[in-house]
Structure 1
Amino acid sequence: MKTVKQLPLRSEIPSDLTWDLTLVFPSDADFEAAFKQAELANQKIKQIAGTLGQSASSLKTGIDQVLALYRQVDKLSAYASMKNDQDTTNSHYQAYQAQVETLIAAVNAATAFLEPEILAIAPQYLKQLEQDPLLQDYQHFLDMITINRRHILDQERESLLAAAGDVLDNSSNIFNILDNSDLKFPNVTDENGQEYQLSAGIYDTLLESPDVTVRYQAFTNFYQVYGQFKNTFAATLAGEVKKNNYLAQVHHYDSAKDQALAENYIAPQVYDTLITEVNQHLDLLHQYVALRRRVLNLPQLHMYDLYVPLVAKPDCDYTFNTAKEIVQNALAVFGTDYLSHVEEIFTGRYIDVMENQGKVSGAYSGGCYDSAPYELLNWQNNLDNVYTLAHETGHSVHSWYTRHYQPYMYGDYPIFLAEIASTTNENILTEYLLQTQTDPKVRAYVLNYYLDSFKGTVYRQTQFAQFEHYIHQSAAQGQALTADFMSDYYGKLNAHYYGPAVINDPQIAWEWTRIPHFYMDYYVYQYATGFAAASYLAKQIVTQQPQAITKYLNYLKAGNSNYPLNIMQEAGIDMTKGEYLKTAFATFAQRLNELKTLLKQ
């Protein structure tokens, strides 16, 4: 009788493969004491409401007290969430997590006066206050609050909109429930005769099957379910678009896109340039998918054939220790200072390595301003996990520099900048592997990995962004966002992106029904800009361009001390212009040609 291998219990994981959270709080008792202190501080915080505009000193004191409370809560949240994530079956830390979530809600409510009160200060008087030496370091903090002043309504109307938040989010909530809970998928059988009930995760796995029949069945069965509910999904997405357009209109923006980008201090040209440049380089994607058809030896290439690997995974066993050595060697290009922080992360028990029962899936870099930059992994001995280690270490070193070079108010970084650091590390690792690996199978796998990542991030996410903008514009012009209208446009857009080498299967026109990012208000474009910027920066570094590393480290140190586009400008990229994208496409073309050559061999 076969025995089923079970995941180890948390208690069975060697301590050197777990993160050391005593560096955050030495004990649970210390956490509980800090929690009580934060509760007391929150009860007192309202005492400063109404005082911020009295003087420069009052404004500084008020901001400092609010930020100090946020800082306390951040530390509590980091400890509780990481303790819970390491074993979600532990009710003790489930309770900690729930308590912190309740505290966060209370703190947000108690400190809600901060921004409206600052905005209530007359602009000329606020400018006068900012000249005081006490507020010298606070000018960008205040500017981030006031820069969009003309788009902020009076307190009564903003309060009404805030109170309607649950109603306005109803479309998104309905989509999540329908997509995650109510859809029922049929069973499918893989190439080994194993039967599975379809789900989003199983679907992605089956699309990588070497058996075209398995891929076809997964694709058609999956989209049959979504197609049955396309009218309901159209109603939820139309409601989300109407909400975004309405909020943009009442806040005096020209479009929902302008409002979404302004909230993150991003110029509309960044979005427009991305879509223009990607459309001008679709020929490279067409070449890549045509290569896929030839390599897979298919008479026709369908949308369900785009995810099966072109190259088998190399038969290499990458242990965690081996992976650390590879990543350190690759990242040595950044210099000794950067590498010293990688070493600290790898040796200081900042990483929770192994999978165990109850541990959350996936990987992330976490912690807070007052903690180490921790990483959670679920290690498997393969090359994909080596890339994951490089990726999360990119986030962690970014966090280390930001937290050590910026005060708390600027000690984080926006999502627009976050993925650039992690993906730069992936690009650096790819370059290192291509320089050091002579085995053609390994080189081909690395190239295929890079090209698929580029396809899935730069091309696919830009396609999503183009669709998202089209439906917002259409709705603003009075067009009803019916399922047929959106499917017709999406199907044509998909055919435009993938070109004549791919059969534009009719089911793909329904893909918009299942994309949760369409409910996140102009979010997806950042994946594409981040990947392309990382590709550009990595090329500057590995080719040893003058000051490239210094500029890159300054970007990592900047945190939130300047606007994202200004930080990237100082790092060497004008993201309102297309040069960085053209450089990324040139790298894609070079690696595509190398893969073609290797596969001929």
Structure 2
Amino acid sequence: MSEIVKRADAPVENTWKLEDLFPNRKAWDQEYEEVKQLAKKAAQFQGKLNSAEAIGDCFKLEDELSLKTERVYVYAHLHHDEDTAEPTYQGLSQKAKKLGVEVSESLSFVTPEILALPDEQLDAFIADPKLSDYKFTLQEMKREKAHVLGKAEEALLAQVGNLAQAPQTIFGMLNNADLKFPKIKDEHGKEVELTHGSYIQFLESPHREVRERAFKAVYDTYAKNKNTIASTLSANVNKNIFYSRVRKYPSVLEMSLYGDNIPKEVYTNLIDTIHESLPLLHRYIKLRKKLLGVDELHMYDLFAPLVDEYKMDITYEDAKKQTKEGLKPLGANYLASLQKGYDERWIDVYENENKRTGAYSWGAYGTHPYVLLNHKNNLNSMFTLAHEMGHALHSYYSDNALKYRDAQYTIFLAEVASTTNEALLMDYLLNKSTDPKEKMYLLTYYADQFRTTVFRQTMFAEFEKIVHERAEQGESLTPQLLSEIYYDLNVKYHGPGMKVDKDIEMEWARIPHFYNSFYVYKYATGFSAATSFSKQILEEGQPAVDRYLGFLKSGGSDYSINILKKAGVDMSSPQPIREAMSVFEEVITEMEKLTEGK
């Protein structure tokens, strides 16, 4: 394990270029003040949103305010994520959050005022050519009408914004800055540091005792903090219930899906279709147990290498090259945009002390996207690069094709673009591989993608559904209840071939996505849609590429389900999930063939 450097010592070429957002702190301060002044201008429209001219001018101001606030917010948070313990950027990100709440407050009258208009007047504005840029916005407002409150209540809810962010903020600080794992012994008996970033590396160790030590150390640490973390998660669930009841939704789940206009059936279909496919996961677990040659397969064996003679050591430079090769089917224009991202420092590459864990793509309209990585020299990190650049280029294409308001695509769509990149990269790697060991290594990785992105995320989605339903029925979310629900799901999903260690009952405590409720199902639906897209691109060529690039350029200009349908994938049926499962079955069959006689 290489030593974790301080942020100040990270080589500049491996860090993102935040100067493209703001050249310096002075420019940020200036825009921050501009937003504060602009927010005051909103009041001039209050009580006057009854003509196309007034609505158009108000929406223009709203766009300017939203974009500038987004820039201010993104810059502060990207800096904060570089070093979460750095007080300057802790302060700046808090300032940016508060500014966001102030802006929401200043504009809180807009929606209720427009929705107070008679339906026929609202329909006339939707049809008015002067408001053509805002047609979809107005249609959306009309759809939201049943869940929007009066002016006073909306203003009050806007003020609650800071409180509403507390559970996620507290968990983030505890998890990223305050929580420290003990040192553990590596395979040589040497004491080594255990961090969020190194944890998965330890789980991928060929030495079982190292995997077990890392696994137990992580969950012992979370278990010691279980009461605090259960309180933050419970607070987050209660916040969701508060909003769903105030806004008159039947449940938190339906409130969470309503924004993207996703039918509840998409969520329940996913869980049901995955339940019917659990025998496939159980078959893979059985194969993994056989390949590892163990009497019992434990939870800490799920990432263990199945091909111990084969090691893929992939530097960041190599990962960039191979990702570009793998994405060749998407055409020259896509590849040029990808190269631009590499060359112009969109990406923050390596882990440093107190850097936010994981990976993401984020940014503000009008500036290129940014990508946070914590790159390790392995196959997983190469796929993470492909995944996050999928997000980044989705934003890049949408932003260049559309005006600000229409460019903001939903998260439901976001996971499709990122995972299509992964599927194409995998196809490229499998096709060029001539070594049976390498092929087995790749197939294992692909099978694990299905396990983690489809099955595991669906299990998370089911956990969220159960937890919210129990809380909605008045039950207290104690650490014991959360652990019991989580453990039982692990038993159900992993099946009889798995020894489900008791420690895993604490895993709910380390999942940051649970603070962005009912989000994770989109990984599973996104993976399924991406499997369908990549299949079409590889089989049909240019017509499918054109449809796909059309999807990337559609941003949020229509409802997510419609955008995908136009591009050739219908997520309102279980079909894409079943297609993904048939690919998973092919992967398992291929692995079984390669292991015959072993």
Task: Report how far residue 330 of structure 1 moved.
Answer: 1.6
For residue 209 of structure 2, the aligned residue among 213, 231, 234 is 213
Which of 586, 592, 596 is the matching residue for 1:596?
592
AA in 1 matched with 2:543: Q
Task: Look up the match of 2:292.
Answer: 296
The question of 1:433 aligning with 2:440 is answered: no
Q: Distance in 2 between matches of 1:76 and 1:174?
A: 22
Q: Which residue of 1 aligns with 2:188?
A: 192
Taking a change above 3 Å as real, the CA distance of residues 151 and 506 of structure 1, as seen in their structure-2 partners, is same
Deviating more after overlay: 306-315 vs 221-230? 221-230
Secondary structure of 1:543 counterpart: helix
CA contact (8 A) 1:10 1:87 kept: no
* Alpha-carbon separation, structure 2, partners of 1:350 and 1:475: 42
Match of 1:548 in 2: 544
Q: Which moved more, 1:136-145 or 1:73-82?
A: 73-82
Letter in 2 for 1:72: K
2:276 paired with 1:280? yes
- Aligned to 1:387, which of 383, 387, 405? 383
1:462 is the counterpart of 2:452: no
Change (3 A) 1:425 1:241: same
Q: Is the 8 A contact 2:391 2:414 kept in 1?
A: yes
How far off its partner does 1:460 sit? 1.0
> When the two structures are superposed, what TM-score results if normalisation uses the length of structure 1?
0.87
Q: Which amino acid aligns with 1:109?
A: E
Whether the aligned pair in 2 keeps the contact of 1:50 and 1:117 (CA below 8 Å) is yes
Change (3 A) 1:379 1:117: same
CA RMSD of aligned residues (A): 3.6
SS in 2 for 1:365: strand
What does residue 566 of structure 1 align with?
562
| 1:372 matches 2:368 | yes
Q: Is the 8 A contact 1:190 1:209 kept in 2?
A: no
Q: Deviations over 1:457-506 (max 9, x none)?
A: 21111112122222333344455555555544433322221111012333
Q: Pick which of 564-573 and 468-477 moved more.
A: 468-477
Counterpart of 2:47 (choices 50, 53, 74) is 50
Which whole-Å CA distance do the structure 2 matches of 1:91 and 1:182 have between them?
A: 14
User: Normalised by the size of structure 2, how large is the TM-score?
Assistant: 0.87
User: C-alpha deviations, 1:182-210, integer Å up to 9, x for none?
Assistant: 77766543322133576655554443333
Q: For each residue in 1:341-400, what CA deviation from the matched residue of structure 2 results, as whole angstroms up to 9, or x when unmatched?
A: 223333445445566788766544333221123444455544333323322221222112
Structure 1 pair 336–231 and aligned structure 2 pair: CA distance change class (3 A):
closer
Q: Is the 8 A contact 2:282 2:495 kept in 1?
A: yes
Instruction: Provide the secondary structure at the position in 2 that maps to 1:147.
Output: helix
Whole-Å separation in 2 of the counterparts to 1:169 and 1:94: 15
Tell whether the 8 Å contact from 1:410 to 1:559 is kept in structure 2 after alignment. Answer: yes
CA 1:598–1:167: 2 relative to 1, 3 Å: same
Instruction: Call closer, same or farther: CA 1:402–1:324 in 2, change over 3 Å.
Output: same
Output the CA distance in 1 between the equivalents of 2:370 and 2:180: 37
How many pairs are equivalent? Answer: 596
CA pair 175-362 structure 1, distance change in 2 beyond 3 A: closer
Tell me the residue number matched to 2:448.
452
Q: Alignment partner of 1:266: what SS?
A: coil
Counterpart of 1:137 (choices 111, 118, 133) is 133
- Structure 2 gaps, min length 5: none
CA distance change for structure 1 residues 415 and 215 in 2, over 3 Å: closer, same or farther? same
Contact 2:113-2:151 at 8 Å conserved across structures: no
Structure 1 residue 508 corresponds to structure 2 residue 504: yes
| CA shift for structure 1 position 307 | 2.2
User: Which residue identity does 2:39 align to in structure 1?
Assistant: N
SS of equivalent residue, structure 1 residue 137: helix
For the residues of structure 1 that align with 2:445 and 2:152, how far apart are their CA atoms? 52
SS of the residue 1:521 aligns to: coil
Distance 1:385 1:469 in 2: 30
Aligned pairs (5 A) from 1:520-539 = 520-539=516-535
Residue range with higher mean Cα deviation, 94-103 or 436-445: 94-103
Structure 1 residues 199, 318: closer, same or farther in 2, change over 3 A? closer
1:30-179 matched pairs, under 5 angstroms: 34-53=31-50, 55-79=51-75, 81-82=77-78, 100-101=96-97, 103-164=99-160
The aligned amino acid for 2:281 is L
C-alpha contact (below 8 Å) 1:19/1:349 kept by paired residues: yes
3-state secondary structure, aligned to 2:556: coil
Q: CA 1:299/1:331 → structure 2, altered by over 3 Å: closer, same or farther? A: same
CA shift for structure 1 position 282:
0.7
1:557 aligned to which of 547, 553, 560: 553
Residue 409 (structure 1) aligned with residue 405 (structure 2): yes
Deviation string, structure 1 residues 275-297 (Cα, Å, up to 9, x no partner): 01101111111111111111111
Task: Give 1:434 shift.
Answer: 0.6
Compute the displacement of 1:559 (Å). 0.6
CA distance in 2, matches of 1:14, 1:164: 40
Please tell me whether the aligned partners of residues 414 and 564 of structure 1 are also in contact (alpha carbons under 8 angstroms): yes
Structure 1 stretch displaced more, 519-528 or 395-404: 519-528
Percent identical residues:
39
Q: CA deviation at 1:262?
A: 0.9
Deviation at 1:248, TM superposition (A): 2.8
Instruction: Render the CA deviation track for 1:41-78: whole Å, top value 9, x for unaligned.
Output: 3343332333222x101100010012112223334445
Written as runs of structure 1 = structure 2, the 5 A alignment for 1:174-323 is 188-195=184-191, 203-220=199-216, 222-224=218-220, 226-227=222-223, 237-238=233-234, 240-312=236-308, 314-315=310-311, 318-323=314-319
2: CA distance between counterparts of 1:175 and 1:30?
Answer: 31
The code of the aligned residue for 1:65 comes to L
- Secondary structure at the counterpart of residue 561 of structure 1: coil
> Structure 1: which 5+ residue stretches go unaligned?
none
2:398 aligned with 1:398: no
The CA distance in 2 between the partners of 1:299 and 1:193, in whole Å, is: 25
Moved more, 200-209 or 400-409: 200-209
For 1:239 and 1:354, the matched residues in 2 are separated by: 33
Q: Cα distance 1:8–1:439, how it changes in 2: closer, same or farther (>3 A)?
A: farther
Aligned-pair CA distance for 1:180: 6.3
SS in structure 1 opposite 2:540? coil
Deviates more, 1:233-242 or 1:393-402: 233-242
Check the 8 A contact 1:312/1:445 in 2, yes or no: no
CA contact (8 A) 1:24 1:370 kept: no
Q: Deviations over 1:102-121 (max 9, x none)?
A: 54444333333322332233
Q: Give the Cα–Cα distance (whole angstroms) in 2 for the partners of residues 411 and 292 of structure 1.
A: 43
1:447 corresponds to which letter in structure 2? Answer: L
- The structural deviation recorded for 1:155 is 3.2
Match status 1:518 vs 2:514: yes
Change (3 A) 1:256 1:392: closer
Is the contact made by 1:20 and 1:349 (CA closer than 8 Å) also made in structure 2?
yes
Distance 1:320 1:519, change over 3 A: closer
